């Protein structure tokens, strides 16, 4: 299998604090890869580095072998990276349909075509009953779904999901897991997700990397990772899994 995403020695400091410290990993095409770790471990910083919100101090990000380190977010979107935000950022004054249409306009030839595309993704994320509501009026889980639909509408090859299942009920989490797996199987998408909901991580991911204090402390299959002594100590604590 070829790697779609290769992270090499990525380091980022904020005012002397190393938020991400010499992290390397690679994600194979069509893989579902989870990034876990306690709060403040540097997971979201990691995403922001990959998605181009700010450049790393040291290290490189490669997308399908091409160096994309430090490119602007809109360029990275064009290169095939889609993302959601941990603190959701829907367009509040626009309707659900318009939100997703904005994403689809990148590749669509007309607004009408983009709207048709948008309907497809809304259906996939079970938002098709709420197309004409303003995004500001949605519940938090719905806003998270909206972010996924909007990111998908840009037709990414690599999708970065930042805690999209936080705040969802277990049944909703399971439905999201099914949706994401189906997406991967049907479109060949690669997914990297940050997640605290271990139920989803265990069910969905094929590989897991664990961050703590900005450093990668473990990587492997979900089963390997939860059995790792370092992970148990720093992250899972005394909780039995």
In angstroms, what is the minimal distance from the CB of 12 to other proteins? 17
Interstrand relation of 32-36 and 207-212 (parallel, antiparallel or unpaired): parallel
Q: Which two tokens stand for residue 174?
A: 């399971």
Closer CB to other proteins, 15 or 132, in the complex? 132
Q: What is the DSSP string of 1-49?
A: --EEEEEEEEEEEETTEEEEEEEEEEEETT-EEEEE-STTSSHHHHHHH
**Alpha-carbon span 67 to 144, nearest angstrom:** 30
Closer CB to other proteins, 11 or 95, in the complex? 95
In angstroms, what is the minimal distance from the CB of 74 to other proteins? 5
Closer CB to other proteins, 136 or 241, in the complex? 136
Q: Which two tokens stand for residue 100?
A: 């997703």
Interstrand relation of 207-212 and 215-220 (parallel, antiparallel or unpaired): antiparallel
In angstroms, what is the minimal distance from the CB of 222 to other proteins? 28
In angstroms, what is the minimal distance from the CB of 60 to other proteins? 21
Closer CB to other proteins, 98 or 195, in the complex? 98
In angstroms, what is the minimal distance from the CB of 120 to other proteins? 11
**Alpha-carbon span 132 to 229, nearest angstrom:** 50
Give the CA angle between residues 5, 7, 10 to the nearest 5°.
Answer: 155
Please choose, from the candidates 119, 121, 95, 101, the residue with its C-alpha nearest in 3D space to the C-alpha of residue 179.
Answer: 121
Closer CB to other proteins, 74 or 185, in the complex? 74
In angstroms, what is the minimal distance from the CB of 117 to other proteins? 13
**Alpha-carbon span 129 to 62, nearest angstrom:** 39
Report how far apart the first and last C-alpha atoms of the chain are (Å, whole number).
30
**What are the residues binding other proteins (CB under 8 A)?**
51, 53, 72-74, 77-78, 82-83, 85, 89-95, 98, 101-103, 105-106, 111, 114, 119, 123, 128, 130-134, 150-151, 153-154
Closer CB to other proteins, 25 or 85, in the complex? 85
In angstroms, what is the minimal distance from the CB of 98 to other proteins? 7
What residues are paired with 218 via a beta bridge? 210
Closer CB to other proteins, 101 or 190, in the complex? 101
């Amino acid at each position: 299998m070829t790697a779609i995403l290769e992270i090499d020695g990525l380091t980022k400091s904020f005012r002397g604090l190393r938020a991400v410290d010499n992290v390397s990993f690679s994600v194979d095409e069509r893989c579902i890869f989870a990034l876990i770790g306690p709060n403040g471990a540097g997971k979201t910083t990691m995403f922001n580095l990959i998605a181009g919100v700010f450049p790393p101090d040291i290290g490189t990000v490669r997308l399908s072998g091409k160096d994309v380190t430090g490119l602007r977010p809109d360029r990275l979107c064009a290169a095939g990276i889609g993302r959601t935000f941990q603190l959701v950022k829907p367009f509040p004054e626009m309707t659900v349909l318009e939100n997703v249409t904005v994403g689809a306009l990148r590749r669509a030839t007309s607004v009408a075509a983009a709207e048709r595309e948008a309907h497809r993704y809304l259906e996939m994320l079970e938002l098709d009953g709420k197309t004409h509501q303003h995004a500001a009026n949605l519940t938090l889980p719905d806003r998270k779904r909206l972010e996924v639909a909007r990111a998908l509408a840009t037709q990414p090859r690599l999708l970065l999901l930042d805690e999209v299942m936080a705040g969802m009920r277990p049944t909703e989490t399971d439905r999201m897991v099914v949706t994401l797996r189906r997406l991967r199987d049907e479109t060949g998408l690669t997914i990297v997700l940050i997640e605290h909901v271990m139920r989803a991580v265990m069910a969905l991911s094929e590989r897991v990397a664990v961050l703590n204090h900005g450093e990668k402390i473990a990587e492997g299959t979900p089963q390997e990772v939860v059995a790792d002594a370092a992970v148990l100590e720093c992250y899972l604590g005394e909780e039995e899994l």
